[in-house]
Structure 1
C-alpha cells in the first residue's frame, strides 16, 4: 500500500469519526450534565495523549511542569478543553445539533480574523468576501431562514455556539505560537484543563449518578472527538503528497455529520441549516483558495 492510499484512508477515518461527534454530543447529553460529560471525556483524552507522549517523547513528560511550559499548559488548558468544551457542550444542550454544528464550524473564519489581528496577515479582498458569505450563513441558521426579520430563534444557543468558535480560534493562535511537539502541547493542556474541570465539577456539580451507556458515550467522545482522531489526521497529512488538497477533505465532515444527525437523532433537517452550512463552508473555501 503506497503512501497516497494510506493518507487517503487515514483522512477518511478521521472525517468519519469527527462526523459522529455532533450526534454523540446530543445522545450523551440526554443522560449527563455538561460538566460531567466534559470531565469524563477530557480525562479519557488526557490518558490518550499521555500514551502518545510515552511513545513519542518520554523525556519531555516532566517538562510540562517547567516554568514557561507550566504557564503555557495552564493557559492552553483553561482555553481548551475547559472553556471551549464547556461552552460547546452547553450550546449542544440548547440547540438542535444541525444548528450547533455549523455555527461552531465558523472557527476557520475566526482564525482568519485573528490571523490578521495577531499574526499580521494581510486582509485581502478574497478574505473579506469569504467572511461576508460565511456571515450570511450564520445569519441564515440563526434566524432559520428569516434573514430580513433578524429574529433569532435561540439567541443564547447561537451565542454559545459562535462563542465556542471564538475560543477555539484563540486556542489555535496560541497553539501556533507554541513551538513544542503537538503531543506535548495536547497532553499538557488536557492534563491541566482536566484538573480545572475536576475542581469545577466538585464545586458546582458534584452529584454523580451516571448510567453506564452515558458514561461510555462520554468515553467515546473523549477517545474519538478530542483524542485519537487528531493523530489520525496528522498521520494523513504527513503521508500526503498534497497537504492542501488533503486538508480540504475535512470540509466534508459537517455535511456527513448532517446525515448522522438526521438518521440517528431523527432531526428533520431545516433548509436553513443546510443552506447556512453551505454558505459557511463556501466562505471558508474561498479564503483557502489563495493558499493552494
Structure 2
C-alpha cells in the first residue's frame, strides 16, 4: 500500500472508533458515576500509552524529561484528562448522548474564540459568520428546535457540555508550546492527571464498584477514546504528509463523518430516538466548522 492508502485507512479507523465513544460514555454511566468512569478510563489509558512508549523504546526517556517540561505536563494534566473529562462526563450524565456529542463538537469554534485573546489572532468576518452558524446549531439542539420559547432540555448539562469545549481549547492552545513527542506529552499529562482524579473520586464519590459492565466500558473508553485513537490519528497524519500521501487536509476532513456516524451508534446501541432537531443542529455546527476551515485555507 502507498502512503495515501495507509493515511486513509488509519484515518477511517480513527473516525470509526471516535464514532463509538459517545455511546460508550452513556452506556458506562449506567454503571459508574462520572468520577468513577474517569478514574478507571484514565488508568486504562495510562497503561496503553505506557505500553506504546515501551514498544518504541521511549518509556524511560519519557520519565526523564527536563523539569520545565514536567511542570508543563503537570499543568496540562490538570486540564486534560482531569478537568476536561470530569466536566464532559457530567454533561453526558445529564444530557442525552445525541445532545452532548454535537455540543462538544463545537470545540473548534471555542478554540478560534480563545485564540484571539490568548494567541493574538484576529477574528475575521468569516470566523464571525462560522461562530454564528455553529451556535445557532447549539440553540437548535439544546432547545429541541423550539427557539421561540428558549426552553433548554437541561440547562446545567448544556453549560457543562459547552464548558468542556473551553477546557479542551485551552489544553490545545497551551500544548502548542510543548516540544515533547506528542505521545510522550500525553502520557505525562495522564500520569499527573491520575492523582487529581483519584483525589476527586475519594472526596466527592467513592471507589468504583466491582461492576463487570462498568469496568469493561471504562476500559474501552480509556483504551480507545483516550489512548489508541491518538496514536492512530498521528500515524494517519504522518502518512498523509508524505509526498505521495495526498495531503493532511484530505485526511483531516474525515473527522466530519464522526458526529453523524456517532448518531447511528447512539440510536442502535443506546436506544435513543434521534430527534430532527439534533440532525438540524448538527448540520449547523458542521457547516460552521467547514466555513471556518474554508476561510482559513483561503487566507
TM class, shorter-length: over 0.9
Q: Secondary structure at the match of 1:196?
A: helix
* Equivalent residue number for residue 268 of structure 1: 273
In structure 2, the CA distance between the partners of 1:112 and 1:288, relative to structure 1 (3 Å rule), is: same
Counterpart contact for 2:127–2:295, Cα < 8 Å: no
* Equivalent residue number for residue 288 of structure 1: 293
1:219 to 2:224 alignment: no
In structure 2, the CA distance between the partners of 1:152 and 1:103, relative to structure 1 (3 Å rule), is: same
How big is each residue's C-alpha offset from its partner over 1:71-118, in whole Å with a ceiling of 9 and x where there is no partner? Answer: 211111110101100110111011000000001111000111112221
User: So what's the TM-score if we normalise by structure 1?
Assistant: 0.96
| 1:148 CA drift (Å) | 2.3
CA RMSD of the aligned region, Å? 1.3
| 1:4 CA drift (Å) | 0.8
| 1:203 CA drift (Å) | 2.4
* Equivalent residue number for residue 243 of structure 2: none
* Equivalent residue number for residue 60 of structure 1: 61
| 1:248 CA drift (Å) | 1.1
Which whole-Å CA distance do the structure 2 matches of 1:191 and 1:13 have between them? 26
| 1:59 CA drift (Å) | 4.8
Counterpart contact for 2:69–2:178, Cα < 8 Å: no
1:101 to 2:106 alignment: no
Q: Which runs of 4+ in 1 moved over 3 A?
A: none
5+ residue gaps in structure 1? none
5+ residue gaps in structure 2? 241-245
| 1:67 CA drift (Å) | 2.6
How big is each residue's C-alpha offset from its partner over 1:164-184, in whole Å with a ceiling of 9 and x where there is no partner? Answer: 111101111011122221012
Q: Which moved more, 1:208-217 or 1:135-144?
A: 208-217
Q: Secondary structure at the match of 1:63?
A: coil
In structure 2, the CA distance between the partners of 1:280 and 1:56, relative to structure 1 (3 Å rule), is: farther
* Equivalent residue number for residue 48 of structure 1: 48
User: So what's the TM-score if we normalise by structure 2?
Assistant: 0.94
Q: 5 Å matches for 1:135-174?
A: 135-174=135-174
| 1:208 CA drift (Å) | 3.6
